[in-house]
Structure formats: structure tokens, C-alpha cells
Amino acid sequence: MINLIGTYECKADAKGRVMFSSALKKQLAPVLQEGFVIKRAVFQPCLELYPMQEWNKMMQRVGKLNPFVKKHNDFIRRFTAGVKMVELDASGRLLIPKDLCQFAGVEKQVVLSSAVNIIEVWDKNRYEKAIDDAAVDFADLAEEVMGNFDVDELS
């Protein structure tokens, strides 16, 4: 599993191409040649960029769902809606498809934010708003999500 680190601000050009920072490319070096999958996020108005090996792991989990159970079928359809395969070009740019740019509101200023093993792709203003909105409840959220772990389990 890849553990990505960092938040990177960059610009998108008129065609939706985003230049990756050298620090992010360096972290992704072992998987760059395999390409990526980009999709709409489930909970936020942003995109999720999966290195192909991480996408394959996710698809193994999704593939275990029973398509003859309506909730499973609905989930599969929504989760995979708009999914596209993408790769960095020779200049280190990622072309974000227009429909996904529209979904995420990506225009000029972009934030690439690591989320453990994937990269969230945000319009900068939406990212700042999401961070500000989450800051109010973060202490309560941290306690609820991480508070039940024994300290030894976290190290």
C-alpha cells in the first residue's frame, strides 16, 4: 500500500491539465507507469485519484458485492459513475476529463491533497471551505474516530 504525504497547490490550464509537483511525482515514482483511475468522491465535491494498484484493491472489494442485491447494484453504479483511466503525460501533467472538472468545480487553482493511499483533487476554494467547515468539529471527530484505540495499536 502506498502512503502518500502532503498537500500541493497547482494550476489547471484551459484544457484541464494539472502539473504534478516534483515531490508528489517522487512519492508516486514506483507506480507512475501503471497509470491512475480518477473518479468523483463519495462524500465531498472533489475527485479521487487512485494509483492503479490501489484501484485494483478497491475493485476486489467492490467485486465481492452481489449485483442481484439492489443496494449493492445501486452502490456499484454510483461508485463507478464517471470513472476514467488517466496517466501523466511526458511533461508530468494530468489531464482531468471535462465532466469531472465540472463535478469538482476545478478551473484554475487546484489542490492535490494526499488521503493515505489516494490523492484528492480539489478546486482550491472548495478545499479551503471544506477544511474550514471541518475544523469546527475536528476535535470531536478525532475523539470519536480514534479515541477507542489503545495507544499501542496506533504505533
3-class state of residue 17 by DSSP: strand
pLDDT for the residue numbered 111 = 97
Do residues 109 and 91 touch, judged by C-beta distance below 8 A?
no
pLDDT for the residue numbered 148 = 81
pTM of the model: 0.89
pLDDT for the residue numbered 154 = 56
User: CA-CA distance, 141 to 139, in Å (whole number)?
Assistant: 5
**Which pLDDT band, with edges at 50, 70 and 90, does 138 fall under?**
confident
More confident residue, 91 or 49: 49
The residues, any chain, with a CB within 8 Å of residue 31's CB and separated by 6 or more, are: 2, 51, 52, 53
As beta bridge partners, residue 84 has: 38
- The stretch 13-36 carries a mean pLDDT of 93
- Among 21-25, 55-59, 73-77, 108-112, the least confident range: 21-25
pLDDT for the residue numbered 149 = 73
Where along the chain do its domains lie?
Answer: 7-145
**Which pLDDT band, with edges at 50, 70 and 90, does 133 fall under?**
confident
Domain boundaries 7-145, CATH class: alpha beta
- Would residue 16 be called left, alpha or beta, if left means φ above 0 and alpha means ψ between -120 and 50 degrees? left
